[in-house]
Structure 1
Amino acid sequence: MTPLAPRTALLMTVPPLLWAGNAVVGRMVVGSVPPLTLNFLRWTLAMVLLLPLGWRALRDPGAITARWKHLLLIGLLGVGSYNSLQYLALVTTTPINVTLIAASSPVWMLAVGALFHGEHPTRRQIAGALLSLAGVLLVIARGDPAALARVHFVTGDLYVLVAIVAWAFYSWQLARPPAHMREPQRPDWDWAGFLLLQTLFGLLGSGAAAIGEAAFTHASLHWSGWVVAALVYVAIGPSIIAYRCWGLGVAQGGPALAAFFGNLTPVFAALMSAAALGEAPRWYHAVAFAMIVGGIFVSSRRG
């Protein structure tokens, strides 16, 4: 395994930080914006912002048409399914349950790699996953392991599980794309153009979901200055910046290593929530952060 470079570590740390903010914001707009509509509006705005940067990818329709199946797959996995399910879960389940299930991300990432890409986990990766998972559980338990026994699961937890599995497949598709998406066959798309294409194809599923939500539920959208600010944040930070960093990080370090960094999300979310409530970070936040970083270090070392 390639040693962890500082640049790769930074690229993999930025997305969890921004996604933690996304979870906090997504929870705060519950009742103002329906979850599936929120995801559609988020990526529609992201598409508008990406157009000036990535429009050149649209100049060759033939290259897009020849790869439409792959683009549709990653668009539905990364833009459509994962984000829609996450927002939907924030309505029907508790943040502690979302964090608990999301902590299984390295397990699913390693499983998808082993089953579909022949990337069998090493002992160091397994040890790193367990250490990182223990750090996340410490945050969830708020320093009291007995608190884990009091966690109750609800229907919405299934949405989180499906979202995490979808994200694992999405990440592996970035790292192990089909031949027509690798050099020298890959079109000359820059990062903005590639993300723009993912967004366009992902909006097909996200838009259909939002239409269904409007037609079959009583959820309604209530505009306000706060809702507009929330949409701007989730469209720029967790979408464009985070996806760009995640794509680079996965390409350099691999999906399995990236999954360990993903476990920083609940720690960042706990700190953000504590700051929003005026509470000082507790001792277990620091210990959990050290355990998660330790898991990253163990998993990324050479055998």
Structure 2
Amino acid sequence: MSLKHSLLALLVMLVWGANFVVIDEGLADVPPLLFLAMRFTLVALPLVFFVPMPRAGWRNVVAVGSFMSLGQFSLLYIALHLGMPAGLASLVLQAQVIFTIVIAAFVIKEHPSRRQVVGATIGTAGLALVVIAHGVSAPVVPVLVMLGAAMSWAIGNVIARRAGVASGLSLVVWSALVVPLPALGLSLLVDGTDEVGRALTHLSGTAIASTAYTAIGSSLLGYGIFNSLLARYTASAVVPFVLLVPIVGIATAWVVQDEVPSGLELVGGAIMLAGVAAATVSRRRRVGATREEQISPSSKAELASPTR
């Protein structure tokens, strides 16, 4: 990659890594599911009127939106609301790589290579250490909710891969339509009309800025740059940058929120990232190689991006 494009990739990782802290700060003023509805309304509108619908059929778009957008991010927002540290959340969410490998093996028969099996095993061991280390000093429920978010994202990955969607950006925009109404309805049910009304009529500057950052910066601008890089370069040249996201996320939470991970959490995170690297960074991408060649670079971005 050229220096210019490497710097652009680094910029995207900085945006995506800080995204977790930005979300966490915004949740201080807005209930999580309402905040989610606000974000994805801004992702979908007004672009849905200008970006063509992906050639995957409504069923696949709704399925991807249900798991990759609604399921993943509702659980992510809820986990942060329940007290999940933002930096640790950026790390635990990367378990989606491990889950995707396992689910793809069973659902679309993409049997992992020996390297991927070893990487997934190492990553799982590191993840288990993170969960145990965190559970020693804090409630483990938010971590389990985060794992649910990673699992939902992995299911969405496999659906998107099987569908062979032709445009990653169009899938982001159109699948975002699945989120606002269910999220708003659940928020009204869980939080009550009074709380939802109060939040909407008393939006703070932090909540507005957070919504704009997550929708425009993280989802649209960040994804657009990452997608263009995948269209220009091989996945093996671009995807390794994703491993910087949890590092940026942990560092940002450390500086902004004084979130200091324990030694065991850092060790477990390092082991997990090593496993993820072993499973995803390889010159010989044998798993599903024939099928991967049939999928556009923009669809690969759906499988590689850490957050949208």
Name the TM-score, length of structure 1 as normaliser.
0.69
Task: Work out whether residues 90 and 246 of structure 2, in 8 Å CA contact, stay in contact via their aligned partners in 1.
Answer: yes
| Alpha-carbon separation, structure 2, partners of 1:108 and 1:33 | 30
Q: Who is 2:115 aligned against? A: 124
Q: Who is 1:18 aligned against? A: 15
Q: Given the alignment of the two structures, is residue 208 of structure 1 paired with residue 159 of structure 2, yes or no?
A: no
Query: Where in structure 1 are there 5+ consecutive unaligned residues?
Result: 183-189
Name the TM-score, length of structure 2 as normaliser.
0.68
Farther off after superposition, 239-248 or 190-199: 239-248
Task: Work out whether residues 36 and 73 of structure 2, in 8 Å CA contact, stay in contact via their aligned partners in 1.
Answer: yes
SS at match of 1:114: helix
Q: Given the alignment of the two structures, is residue 232 of structure 1 paired with residue 212 of structure 2, yes or no?
A: yes
Match of residue 159, structure 1, among 142, 145, 159: 145
| Alpha-carbon separation, structure 2, partners of 1:161 and 1:152 | 16
Q: Who is 1:45 aligned against? A: 42
* CA offset digits 1:219-245 (Å, max 9, x no partner): 652422222111110111222134446
Match of residue 108, structure 1, among 96, 99, 102: 99
**Cα displacement (A) at 1:104:** 2.7
Q: Given the alignment of the two structures, is residue 269 of structure 1 paired with residue 246 of structure 2, yes or no?
A: no
* CA offset digits 1:56-80 (Å, max 9, x no partner): 526xxxx98x922111111111221
Q: Given the alignment of the two structures, is residue 34 of structure 1 paired with residue 31 of structure 2, yes or no?
A: yes
Task: Work out whether residues 11 and 248 of structure 1, in 8 Å CA contact, stay in contact via their aligned partners in 2.
Answer: no
For residues 48-197 of structure 1, the aligned pairs below 5 Å read 48=45, 50-51=47-48, 55-57=50-52, 67-95=57-85, 98=89, 101-130=92-121, 147=133, 150-177=136-163, 181=165, 191-197=168-174
**Cα displacement (A) at 1:295:** 5.2
| Compared CA separation, residues 92 and 301, structure 1 to 2 (3 A) | same
Q: CA RMSD in A?
A: 4.5
Q: Who is 1:241 aligned against? A: 221
| Compared CA separation, residues 124 and 8, structure 1 to 2 (3 A) | farther
**Cα displacement (A) at 1:39:** 0.7
**Cα displacement (A) at 1:27:** 1.7
Query: Where in structure 2 are there 5+ consecutive unaligned residues?
Result: 287-308
| Compared CA separation, residues 212 and 106, structure 1 to 2 (3 A) | same
| Compared CA separation, residues 193 and 292, structure 1 to 2 (3 A) | closer
